[in-house]
Chain A
Amino acid sequence: MAAETPSETDPDPETDAASAAGGPGTPATAAVDDAMRQLRELLVNPAIAPEREAVRLLREEVRAGRLNARQLADALPEAVRLSGADGERLADALSPTVDRAIELSIENNPQPMVDVIFPIIGPAIRKAVSDALAKAVSGLNETLEHSLSPQSIRWRLEAKRTGKTFAEVLMLKTLRYRVDQVFLVHAKTGLLLHHVVAPGASVRDADLVSGMLTAVTDFVRDSFASDEDTGAGLQKLRVGGTSVWVERGPYAVLAAAVRGEGPEELRETLEESVESIHQRFRDELEHYDGDSGVFVGTAPDLARCLVSAEMPGRRRSAWGRWLRRAAALAVVVGLVFLAIRSNVRWNRLVDELRNTPGVLLVDENQNWWGKSQLTGFFEVRAPVQPYMILNRSAIPSDEVEQRWEPFTGLTGGSSGGAPPAPYLPADPGALLDAPDGVSFVPVAGEGPVRWVSRGDADSAWLATARRQVSAGVGPLAPGSVDLSGVTDRDASRRADAAALRAAVAAVAAVEVPMPEGVDLTGAVARDRLAQAARDVGEAARLARKSGQRFTLEVTGHTDAVGEPDINQALSLTRAEAVAAALRARRPADSGGGWVILTRGAGSARPRVAETAPADQQAANRRVTLAVRLEPR
Chain B
Amino acid sequence: MKQAKICMLGAFCVGKTSLVARFVKSVFSDKYHSTIGVKIDKKVVSVGDAPVTLVLWDLEGEDDLVRVQMSYLRGAAGYLLVVDGTRPETLETAVLLRRRIETEVGVLPFVLLLNKCDLTDLWALDDPGLLGLRDAAATTLKTSAKTGQNVEEAFAALASAAMGGPAPDAAGGKP
Chain A bound to chain B: yes
Within 8 A of A (CB), among B10-29: 25, 27-28
Q: Are B74 and A219 in contact (CB under 8 A)?
A: no
Given A189-B5, A189-B76, does the pair A215, B36 have CB atoms closer than 8 Å?
yes
Residue of B whose beta carbon sits closest to that of A111:
B175
The stretch that binds B, out of A282-290, A329-337, A435-443, A454-462, is: A282-290
Stretch among B37-45, B95-103, B147-155 lining the A interface: B37-45
* Chain B residues within an 8 Å CB radius of A215: 36-38, 40, 57, 72
How would residues 163 to 175 of chain B score, 1 for a CB under 8 Å from any chain A CB and 0 otherwise? Answer: 1000111000001
If the complex has contacts A205-B42, A212-B32, A215-B40, are A191 and B71 also in contact, measured as CB distance less than 8 A?
no
Q: B28: which A residues are within 8 A, CB to CB? A: 208, 212
Q: What residue in chain B is nearest A192 (Cβ atoms)?
A: B3
A291–B169 CB distance below 8 A? no
Q: Which of A171-229 contact B (CB under 8 A)?
A: 186, 188-192, 204-205, 207-209, 211-212, 215-216, 218-219, 222
Across the interface, do B1 and A190 meet the contact criterion of CB distance under 8 Å? no
Assuming the contacts A212-B32, A289-B168, asked whether A188 and B40 have C-beta atoms less than 8 A apart, the reply is no
Instruction: Find chain B residues with CB under 8 A from A205 CB.
Output: 25, 27, 42
Interface hits, B23-61 → A, CB 8 Å: 25, 27-28, 32, 36-38, 40-42, 52-53, 55, 57
Interface string of B110-123 (1 = CB under 8 A from A): 00000000000000
Interchain CA distance A555-B93 in the complex, whole Å: 179
Complex formed: what's the CA distance from A127 to B65 in Å? Answer: 51
A290-B69 in contact given A188-B169, A207-B3, A208-B28 (Cβ < 8 Å):
no
A313 close to chain B: CB less than 8 A:
no
From DSSP, what is the main secondary structure of chain A's interface residues?
mixed
| Bound Cα distance A211, B26 (Å) | 12
Asked if B77 is at the interface (CB within 8 A of a chain A CB), the reply is yes
Given contacts A191-B5, A208-B27, A231-B175, contact A218 B55 (CB under 8 A): no
CA separation between A190 and B36, bound complex, in Å? 15
Cβ-based interface call for B4 (8 A): yes
Which of B25, B32, B168 is the one whose CB lies under 8 Å from A188?
Answer: B168
Residues of chain B within 8 A (CB-CB) of A211 are 5, 40, 55, 57
Q: Residue of B at shortest CB range from A205?
A: B27
Using Cβ atoms and an 8 Å threshold, which residues of chain A touch B175? 188, 231
Contacting pair A191 B40 (CB below 8 A): no
Is B75's CB within 8 Å of the partner chain A?
Answer: yes
Q: Are B27 and A190 in touch, CB under 8 angstroms? A: no
The CA of A191 and the CA of B171, in the complex, are separated in Å by 15
Looking across the interface, which residue of chain B has its beta carbon closest to that of A251?
B169
Cα(A281)–Cα(B42), bound, Å: 26
* Closest residue on chain A to residue B56 by CB atoms: A211
A292 within 8 A of B: yes
| B138 to A: closest C-beta gap in Å | 17
CB distance from A286 to the nearest CB of B (A): 8
- For A192, the chain B residues whose CB sits under 8 A away are 3
Evaluate contact between B74 and A292: CB separation under 8 angstroms. Answer: no
Instruction: Report B-chain residues with C-beta under 8 Å of the C-beta of A218.
Output: 69, 71-72, 74
Q: How many A-B residue pairs have CB under 8 A?
A: 93
Q: Cβ of A209: which chain B residues have Cβ within 8 Å of it?
A: 27
What is the minimal beta-carbon distance from B51 to any residue of chain A, in angstroms?
12
> What interface size band does chain A fall in?
20 to 34
Nearest neighbor of B174 in chain A, beta-carbon distance: A230
In residues 276-309 of chain A, which contact B (Cβ within 8 Å)? Answer: 286-293
Is A208 within 8 A of B75, CB to CB?
no
Task: Give the shortest distance, in Å, between B24 (CB) and chain A (any CB).
Answer: 10
Complex alpha-carbon distance, A292 and B167, angstroms: 13
Which of B27, B55, B72, B163 is close to A191, meaning CB atoms less than 8 Å apart? Answer: B55
Most buried by A among B55, B57, B75: B55
In angstroms, Cα B43 to Cα A205, docked, is: 12
Does B40 lie within 8 Å of A208, measured CB to CB?
yes
Complex-state Cα separation, A91 to B2, whole angstroms: 49
Task: Give Cα A290–Cα B166 distance, bound, in whole angstroms.
Answer: 11
0 or 1 for each of B60-84: is its CB under 8 Å from A? (1 = yes): 0000000001011011110000000
Contact size class for B? 20 to 34
Asked whether B36 lies within 8 Å of A290 as measured between CB atoms, the reply is: no
A-side contacts of B169, CB under 8 Å: 188-189, 286-289
Whether A290 pairs with B71 at a CB distance below 8 angstroms is no
CB distance from A251 to the nearest CB of B (A): 9
* CB atoms of A219 and B1 under 8 A apart: no
Contact A190 B167 (CB under 8 A): no
CA distance A186 to B71 in the complex (A): 15
Q: CB < 8 Å: which of B36, B37, B42, B168 contacts A208?
A: B42
For residue A213, which residue of chain B has the nearest CB? B40
Q: Shortest Cβ distance from A212 into chain B, in angstroms?
A: 5
**In A65-80, which residues have CB < 8 Å from any B CB?**
none
Does A290 lie within 8 Å of B40, measured CB to CB?
A: no
Query: In the complex, A65 Cα to B72 Cα: how many Å?
Result: 55
Give A218 to B32 CA distance when docked, in angstroms: 14
* Complex Cα–Cα for A583 and B36 (A): 151
Q: Is B2 within 8 A of A204, CB to CB? A: no
Kindly provide the distance from the CB of B44 to the nearest chain A CB, expressed in whole angstroms.
10
Chain A residues, Cβ within 8 Å of B77: 189, 290
With CB as the reference atom, state the residue of chain B lying closest to A186: B75
- Tell me the bound Cα distance from A189 to B53 in angstroms: 13
- B69 A222 Cβ-Cβ under 8 A: yes
Nearest A residue (CB) for B71: A218
- Rounded to whole Å, the gap between the CB of A378 and the closest CB of chain B is 92
In the assembled complex, the CB of A229 is this many whole angstroms from the nearest CB of chain B, namely: 13
Distance A208 CA – B41 CA, assembled complex (angstroms): 6
Q: Judge whether A190 and B55 touch: CB under 8 Å.
A: yes
Q: With A and B bound together, what is the CA distance between A148 and B133 in angstroms? A: 78
> Complex Cα distance A190/B7, Å?
12
Q: How far is the CB of B165 from chain A (nearest CB, A)?
A: 11
A288 to B171, CA, bound (A): 12
Asked if residues A290 and B75 are in contact (CB atoms below 8 Å), the reply is no
| Beta-carbon nearest neighbor of B77 in chain A | A290
- The residues in B between 126 and 175 inclusive whose CB is less than 8 angstroms from any CB of A are 163, 167-169, 175
- Distance between Cα atoms of A204 and B28 in the complex (Å): 10
In angstroms, Cα B52 to Cα A292, docked, is: 11
- Chain B residues lying within 8 Å of A222, measured Cβ to Cβ, are 69, 71
Q: How far is the CA of A219 from the CA of B32 in the complex (A)?
A: 11
Q: Closest 4 A-B residue pairs measured CB to CB?
A: A189-B75, A188-B75, A211-B40, A289-B167
B binding-site residues for A, Cβ under 8 Å: 1-5, 25, 27-28, 32, 36-38, 40-42, 52-53, 55, 57, 69, 71-72, 74-77, 163, 167-169, 175
Q: Could you list some 20 contacts between A and B, CB below 8 A? A: A188-B75, A189-B4, A189-B55, A189-B75, A189-B168, A190-B55, A191-B4, A191-B5, A191-B168, A192-B3, A207-B42, A208-B42, A212-B38, A231-B175, A286-B169, A287-B169, A289-B169, A290-B52, A292-B1, A293-B1
| A interface residues with partner B (beta carbon < 8 Å) | 186, 188-192, 204-205, 207-209, 211-212, 215-216, 218-219, 222, 231, 286-293
* Apart from A188-B168, A215-B40, 4 more pairs, CB < 8 Å: A188-B169, A190-B75, A289-B2, A292-B1
